[in-house]
Amino acid sequence: MINSKTRLIGIIGYPLGHTLSPIMQNKALQEMGLNYIYVPLEVKPVDIKKAIEAIRIYDLMGVNVTIPYKEIVMEHLDELSAEAIACEAVNLIKNEDGRLIGYNTDGKGFVAGLEEADVDVSGQILLLGAGGAARAVGHALATEGVQEMTFLDIDRLKAENLADFIRRKTGVSCYGLEMNRETFALAGKNADIIVNCTPSGMYPEINNSPIDDISMIKKPAVLCDLIYNPLQTKLLAMGRAHGLKIINGVPMLVHQGALTLEILTNLKPPIDIMREVVLHQVR
């Protein structure tokens, strides 16, 4: 029940449209017996500075940050975690008595999902897409001690820049190339873990896939898609038919959310219940 003691957690982004975080996090907070609520707070770009000030004014516990504000919020914060500094992006702001601290739980959330599925985080990694999600996931994988990473993007420069960024930050060998059938075949045949970090195949464009031939991928490689709606993208369906281990975007969504609540409350959230909520929403 909401009363005068209820504390607020938010998510800021624009547009917020179909975010599943409020329903997932409110169920978790309820199960944890905490008098907190989690609300979507859509913010127009012109108001982002004022929205961050409002975290202090309303004494919010914290806010998740999503597209397009993960980078821009950094200049308004008092402190940054090691992951946020390394990724140069923030997906969580914690309010500690008016001091705003930026964190990034996306990459660790992805790695936690791999560990949960007993995937050995090593060897050669192929990431499709070189946007914000690829940066967080790529950085987290690089710090786990993988051997080599290749980024493929339709924009060659973006792929090269991200590869340079991760190489500089972590020392891991990284390559950035334009995405096409030839580069995919070249990098795909040696990859141990392949991660789709593009939105290709996401609802409602469910007949799309970043690539239409994965026959060269060796078994037993692991094929991951950050997309969680649909639960099985066209790419993952191809992977399953080819005999690969497949992982969708649900584990990352759930674990980054669980890490958010852990950072804000210092308590362990009910991961299985959070997963059930997400699966119920997208099934």
Residue numbers annotated as active site: 70
Nearer to ligand NAP, 19 or 26 (CB): 19
Q: Which stretch binds ligand NAP (CB under 6 A): 25-33, 46-54, 197-205, 239-247?
A: 197-205
CB of 17 to ligand NAP, least distance (A): 11
Give the CA distances from residue 61 to residues 33, 56, 100, 261, in Å, rounded to whole numbers and listed in that order.
16, 9, 10, 10
Question: What contacts 178, CB < 8 A, 6 or more positions away?
Answer: 152, 153, 154, 155, 156, 159
Closest CA relative to residue 176, chosen from 129, 115, 108, 231 = 129
Q: How many residues bind ligand NAP (CB under 6 A)?
A: 28
Letters for 200-219 (x = contact with ligand NAP by CB under 6 A, - = none) are x-x-------x---------
d(CA 185, CA 140): 24
256 binds ligand NAP (CB under 6 A): yes
Contact status: 236 vs ligand NAP (CB under 6 A) = no
Tell me the closest approach of the beta carbon of residue 66 to ligand NAP, in angstroms. 8
- Extended strands (E) in the chain: 7-13, 36-42, 62-65, 79-80, 92-96, 99-103, 124-128, 148-153, 173-178, 193-196, 222-225, 245-247
Stretch that binds ligand NAP, among 187-195, 233-241, 252-260, 266-274 (CB under 6 A): 252-260
Query: Of 144-183, which residues contact ligand NAP (CB under 6 A)?
Result: 152-155, 158, 179
How far apart are alpha carbons 210 and 194 in whole angstroms?
Answer: 12
Site string for ligand NAP, 51-80 (x = CB under 6 A): ----------------x-------------
Distance CA 217, CA 60 (A): 47
Tell me which stretch binds ligand NAP (CB under 6 A): 22-30, 223-231, 235-243, 267-275. 223-231
| C-alpha span between 15 and 18 (Å, rounded) | 9
Confirm if 250 and 227 have CB atoms less than 8 A apart.
no
In angstroms, the CA 230 to CA 253 distance is: 13
How far is residue 212's CA from residue 217's CA, in Å, rounded to a whole number? 12
Angle between the N-to-C axes of helices 106-116 and 132-143, in degrees from 0 to 180, rounded to the nearest 10:
60
Q: Is 228 in the site for ligand NAP (CB under 6 A)?
A: yes
Answer yes or no whether residue 82 interacts with ligand NAP by CB under 6 A. Answer: no
83 contributes a contact to ligand NAP by CB under 6 A: no
Which amino acid, 164? D
Per-residue string for binding with ligand NAP, 107-146, x by CB under 6 A?
Answer: ---------------------xxxxxxx------------
Ranked by CB distance to ligand NAP, the top (closest) residue is 131
Binding site for ligand NAP (CB under 6 A): 67, 106, 128-134, 152-155, 158, 179, 197-200, 202, 210, 226-228, 249, 252-253, 256
